Structure 1
Amino acid sequence: MTRIHILGLGNLGRFYAHALATTPNPTPITLLLHRKSLLKEWEEAGHRIEIEGASTLVPGVPSSSSGYDIEVLDASSTEKAKPIQYLIIATKAPKTVEALKLIAHRLNYKSTIFFTQNGLGTIEDVTKEYFNEPKILPSYLAAVTSHGVYSTGPFRSVLAGLANVTIGHVCLPESGPPRNEAQNLLQKITSAPLLNALAVSPKELKILQLQKLVINATINPLSVVFRRKNGDLFNHKLIYELLRIMLSEFSQFFEDHLRSHLDLDLSDEEFKECFSVESLERLVLSVAHKTAKNTSSMLQDVQAGRDTEIDYINGWFDRQCNASGTNRQDLADDPQHGYMRCNSHLVDMVKSGKVISGDEIRREFSLQ
């Protein structure tokens, strides 16, 4: 029987589970719990997932759902021999490889893995760790999720704003054409009214992922080092100037790497529309305005003492530079390759926990 497993039950995991469970004739869903203590929280939640606001924003979709199957992941699990056909991964990016450890052997070339996380690099890490031979490589889907969801407790979230999901196939050099199994899961996602999902080509998906990466690589870490809500960032003159410098770095990076290392061939007009400084600025400022009252996910992680996803957001740019033969020292010292200097310094600041005021920007980033 076709079944969807969901790993990671934070806001995104709950949201996808609820959206799929409330479709007509839903596919059976198994929630994968990574620790036994979550069973008590599941019982206290009444064996339900609650997404407050769902029924208001999408008439006909209830705000709570039940009927899920539960599996606790441990080394002695009785389910360990059963293959997993469809897996939705909604863990934080840095936790994904470790989270898959107990179920990777249940995934194979007939499986489809749908990655929902922020940032880039998770798919490559998972492939290297568990599926490094084409004959065992699952099909991959990925998405850019724009809905605003925040938590109010275990298995309870609020849908603060209805937006959309953009989903598509991920084509790696070692993978063949998309399989029917992957297409089936994609159709289930796009058929869920609450998700408001649109399927796009691999090229379109990659463009959207890179644009979303820039949005996250500016708003998230800047909110951390300046301790500001999204809407309070760019009305400060010097923070806005820093944003412009970062966007220049990212735009130059894309110009240098899209074809050679990211396998994305764009015309000059397409590049200008998608990755010019002006285009990227419009995207970032639009999201900052729409989420003005929000605390960024990275700042929430810092305030809660959790690891951030900085290595899969800003750190992704550093890794791509290293792969192309440009290391961090070059970025700092070589005028011809200095376009990632502010980004690299911001990574160090977030990791070290350094907080500054807007007036300290010029000194901290060695700006004129």
Structure 2
Amino acid sequence: MTDAPAAPWHILGAGAMGTLFAHRLEAAGVPVILVGREASSRRMHTLRAAAGDSERTFTAEGPASRGPVHRLLVTVKAPAVVSAVTALAHRLAPDAVVVLLANGRGYREALAPCLGARPLYRAVTSEGAYRESEAVTVHAGVGRTRIGNPDGEPAPPRWFAAGPGRLPRVAWDAAIEQALWEKLAVNCVINGITALHGCRNGALLTEPDARRDCDALCLETVAALRALGWPQLAAALPRTVADVLRATAGNRSSMLADRLAGRETEIDYINGFLVARCAAQGGRLPRHAALLERVRALQPPIAGRDADGSHSA
């Protein structure tokens, strides 16, 4: 596997989360190339945070650019993951590292044709960021990021120490599969309800209708986690959801942001994945299935999928 410190990280998706990690990696001395929808040799991006603005100019490529990709961080929204990675697959080196930072589950199977035997590493983050303009990203909330191999890899590989491992608040997680299920379950309870009610996260604690829907969906998610073999996550879920809602009370979920912007939401990769996984075992999730259809009905017809945009916990 490529270990040369000078090997750049290609970041697929020049949206909020992609820009945030591009700034952080470059500040740590890791070379970065942004891969967006359009080619541009150099592009200025400003990161606005509580500590002050940081301006950095990144090499920016379009998907048709040439040259091998040895390290790839995928930060596009869930509906665009498969098409975006597939478009870049011909450039992936045989030993390429691919890390996916996206909401939802079900990507391994969909990406198998273009990844081949390469492992698909996953990242889970509680960082919050949104695009204020085409050139300005706001770091709205400081969080922690965990990276690991869902197929199992106890110790961090060498590429991790030479790249993401240099960053504060980024850690290797040998139990990333559990972290992914926890993240999925929380998103299943929160995101769709906020999109449906058009409210910020905190309303699920204070608004009677939103809270009732949230509590009922949480109970069904607890039952689903138990049926799928995650009893400890199930037992902790109500408290976990309440903690997230309190910590992010003023935030708009990424699904609400997508709905308000007229973009395709990630509902099929979150609640839709859970409904399908339970159905495969003969189970039914009527509340999740109903929410899935209601959020789908709110989406306008989408001619093309937007690969950029905000991404938050």
Q: Do the two structures share a fold, i.e. TM-score over 0.5?
A: yes
Tell whether 2:291 aligns with 1:313: no
| Code of the aligned partner of 1:35 | E
2:261 is the counterpart of 1:304? yes
Shift of 1:294: 1.6
Q: Is residue 2:211 matched to residue 1:252?
A: no
Contact 1:109 1:139 in 2 (8 A): no
- SS in structure 1 at match of 2:163: helix
Match of 2:146 among 147, 152, 166: 166
Aligned to 1:235: 206
How far apart in 1 are the matches of 2:158 and 2:150? 12
Q: Of 5, 18, 30, which residue of structure 1 is paired with 2:10? A: 5
Q: What amino acid is aligned across from residue 114 of structure 2 in structure 1?
A: Y
Aligned counterpart, 2:114: 130
Cα distance per residue 1:106-143 (max 9 Å; x no partner): 2254011010111111233112x323xxxx42232211
Partner AA of 1:95 in structure 2: A
- The AA in structure 1 aligned to 2:164 is I
More strand by share: 2
Q: Choose from 270, 283, 292 the match for 2:249.
A: 292
Judge conservation of contact 2:204–2:214 (CA < 8 Å) in 1.
Answer: no
Structure 2 counterpart of 1:48: 44
Count of aligned pairs = 294
Residue type matched to 1:275 in 2?
A
Distance 1:19 1:54, change over 3 A: farther
Q: Does 1:280 align with 2:212?
A: no
**Equivalent-residue separation in structure 1 for 2:154 and 2:98 (angstroms):** 12
In the alignment, is the contact (CA less than 8 A) between 2:203 and 2:211 conserved in 1?
A: no
**Runs of 5+ unmatched residues, structure 2:** 1-5, 300-313
Query: Do the aligned partners of 1:22 and 1:65 also contact (CA within 8 Å) in 2?
Result: no
Does structure 2 conserve the Cα–Cα contact (< 8 Å) formed by 1:84 and 1:107?
yes
2:311 maps to which residue? none
Where structure 1 has 5 or more consecutive residues not aligned to the other structure, the ranges are 57-61, 259-265, 327-336, 355-368
Relative contact order, higher structure (CA 8 A, sep 6+) = 2
Give the percent of matched residue pairs that are identical in Structure 1 and Structure 2.
Answer: 27
Q: Would the aligned equivalents of 2:70 and 2:92 in 1 still touch at CA under 8 Å?
A: yes
Per the alignment, residue 94 of structure 1 pairs with 79
Give the ranges of 4+ consecutive aligned residues of structure 1 lying more than 3 Å apart after TM superposition. 177-180
2:307: which partner in 1?
none
SS at match of 2:90: helix
Matched AA of 2:225: F
Residue 189 of structure 1: aligned partner? 164
TM (normalized to structure 2)?
Answer: 0.86
Q: CA deviation at 1:19?
A: 0.5
Instruction: Give the equivalent residue in structure 1 for 2:296.
Output: 351
Aligned to 1:157, the other structure's residue is in SS state strand
Contact 1:168 1:186 survives alignment (8 Å): no
Per the alignment, residue 65 of structure 1 pairs with 56
Q: Distance in 2 between matches of 1:65 and 1:164?
A: 22
State how far apart, in whole Å, the 2-side matches of 1:209 and 1:161 are: 20
Residues 33 and 73, structure 1, Cα contact 8 Å, conserved in 2: yes
Amino acid corresponding to residue 198 of structure 1 in structure 2: A
CA-CA distance at 1:227 after TM superposition: 1.3
**Based on CA coordinates, which of the two structures has the bigger radius of gyration?**
1
Distance 2:20 2:154 in 1: 26
Q: Which residue of 1 aligns with 2:127?
A: 147
Structure 1 residue 178: deviation in Å? 8.2
Q: 1:307: how far off?
A: 0.3
RMSD: 2.3
Which string of whole-angstrom CA distances, capped at 9 and with x for unpartnered residues, describes residues 319-355 of structure 1? 212433x3xxxxxxxxxx44x110110000000129x
Distance in 1 (CA, whole Å) between partners of 2:199 and 2:218 is 19
Checking the alignment, whether the CA contact within 8 Å between 1:108 and 1:137 is kept in structure 2 is no
User: What's the counterpart of residue 200 of structure 1?
Assistant: 173
Specify the alignment match of 2:306 in structure 1.
none
Equivalents in 2 of 1:238, 1:54: separation in Å?
34
Q: State the Cα distance separating 1:150 from its structure 2 match.
A: 1.6
Corresponding residue number in structure 2 for 1:31: 34
